[in-house]
Structure 1
């Protein structure tokens, strides 16, 4: 498997969402069966090609942290690195610790490769404990493969430095 591209090809645009993007974003989120209850276009970034929104992701703001949510790439555009490019961009846009919730080991591994680490629900900031309470309950009672993950800029950079992933050219 080859590495995903580090930047978008020229025919794609990564940009903040606009009010006109609300329906394309909703279609993507509903189509992926993601949580549609907190879709706020002002918190979204979109990837578009030829005027069509083909991927989106949201940074939800909470006190002293953010949540990466509603990340979806249209089915016909998957497996081309667009989700990775968008995720990396959202990580860079978040100055606070960044959290997410995902279902399934495949997604957990995907986010782990991007620098997220699985954490226990009890280690979440209080606002996110409240938000993730229902899925935490489902995880405990039904044994659903729901993972809560955290990206901490300082911790992740220190780990990459120890592994030698950062060179003077990359700083």
Structure 2
């Protein structure tokens, strides 16, 4: 089993995003080919290393649930524990049941190591059924490996 660091490298800090960070967050999200339409500065945390934003993630709130989304680590900064540290922070910040959607076995394995388990679309709270409905349909039509997951169930 892979060991995850419980701290950031010395040159890195975790902080809330500011409005000045949004252009870099959008760039990270677009480069990762994630949905850039629901990015809210107030929901984002970033990892800043050597003065550059190298990772981001957001915790979106819905009625009765939260979604972990837009988690991206810049390619040059991967495999240093930044994503793990950021996701653990967002998990600890969650105040409601936490869900996510991700593509592929590699990401599902990453999130499984952090305590997420697969969940069916039928088991989602109604607001997330609406949000994840289109991507679930697209995954079926295009045979994409979409995973819906819940933390700690």
Regarding TM over 0.5, the answer is: yes
Match of 1:52 in 2: 52
2:6, 2:64 → 1: CA distance?
29
2:80 is aligned with 1:80: yes
SS in 1 for 2:7: coil
Corresponding residue SS for 1:84? helix
Residue 100, structure 1, aligned to residue 104, structure 2: no
Describe the SS at the equivalent of 1:36: coil
Which structure has more RCO (C-alpha within 8 Å, separation ≥ 6)? 2
Deviations along 1:31-77, one digit per CA (max 9) or x if unpaired, are: 10001110111100000012211000000110111000000000100
Q: Which moved more, 1:134-143 or 1:28-37?
A: 134-143
TM-score of the aligned structures, taking structure 1 as reference length: 0.86
Specify whether residues 149 and 74 from structure 1 end up closer, same or farther in structure 2 by C-alpha distance, changes over 3 A only.
same
Unpaired runs of 5+ residues, structure 1, are 156-171
Higher-Rg member (1/2): 1
CA distance in 2, matches of 1:26, 1:18: 13
Give the corresponding residue for 1:39.
Answer: 39
Structure 2: where are the runs of 5+ without partners? none
User: Residue 115 of structure 2 aligns with which residue?
Assistant: 115
Matched, 1:145 2:141: no
Local SS of the residue matching 1:128: helix
